[in-house]
Amino acid sequence: MQLLKDRICKDGKVKAGNVLKVDSFLNHQIDINLYQEIGKEFKSRFSDCDITKILTIEASGIGIACITAQYFNVPVVFAKKSRTLNISNDVYSSRVHSFTHNNENDIIVSKEFLLPEDKILIIDDFLANGCSVEGLAHIVSLAGASLVGVGIVIEKGFQDGGDNLRKKGMRIESLARIKSMSEDKGFTFYP
């Protein structure tokens, strides 16, 4: 998606430890017009799928998933990183390592929102090591639902997460797949 790649080149900032800051338009301050184009692109790429729900993880994936869900006319379910008083104990759970935060989280989804007949599209903002997608896919499996695909806004293609997930047979559609990035040389992308 050229619009997204251009925006990454213009406003993305590379930090130590292969961290890409895109918080001026993607995950702190949100460019809603860009989100709309992202949603349209995911609809185009997954138009061949019969999707009944979109699944994401809090917090950065929620906005992107919601905009995308409008184009599919389906609900969004998001995995929570902490249990709250209004969630019963009847949940699916998976343990996930966060690359950005360098910590472990138990993510949970109430069983009432994922059913065996559901056809799930996972949406997330970043794919680095693949742990979030694996955790969400595990929850889909626990529910007996079908995972039809994974939509990623930005994939760090120089890390092994995407390749490992593809080897497991997952359909991954990344809108911008970064081949390399550095503070002084900028960004290169896979075609």
Mean pLDDT on 109-132: 96
Mean pLDDT on 34-53: 98
Task: Name, in order, each residue with C-beta under 8 angstroms of 75's C-beta and a sequence gap of 6 or more.
Answer: 53, 54, 69, 113
Which one is predicted more confidently, 183 or 151? 151
One-character DSSP codes across 91-158:
EEEEEEEETTTTEEEEEEEEGGG--TT-EEEEEEEEESSSHHHHHHHHHHHHHT-EEEEEEEEEEETT
Fold type of domain 2-173: Rossmann fold (3.40.50)
Mean pLDDT on 162-181: 97
Instruction: Read off the pTM.
Output: 0.94
Segment 126-162, tens digit of pLDDT: 999 999 999 999 999 999 999 999 999 999 999 999 9
Instruction: Give the pLDDT confidence score for residue 168 in this predicted structure.
Output: 96
Which one is predicted more confidently, 65 or 98? 65
Instruction: Give the pLDDT confidence score for residue 103 in this predicted structure.
Output: 79
Helix (H, G, I), strand (E, B) or coil at 20: strand
Instruction: Give the pLDDT confidence score for residue 83 in this predicted structure.
Output: 62
Q: Which of 27-31, 56-60, 168-172 has the highest mean pLDDT?
A: 168-172
On the question of pLDDT at 82 being above 80, the answer is no
Instruction: Give the pLDDT confidence score for residue 110 in this predicted structure.
Output: 93
Token pair recorded at residue 101: 């935060």
DSSP 87: S
On the question of pLDDT at 112 being above 80, the answer is yes
On the question of pLDDT at 47 being above 70, the answer is yes
Instruction: Give the pLDDT confidence score for residue 88 in this predicted structure.
Output: 66
> CA triplet 63, 39, 174: central angle to 5 degrees?
95
Per-residue burial over 171-185, b if 16 or more Cβ lie within 10 Å, else e, is: ebbbbbbbeebeeee
The pLDDT mean for the chain works out to 93
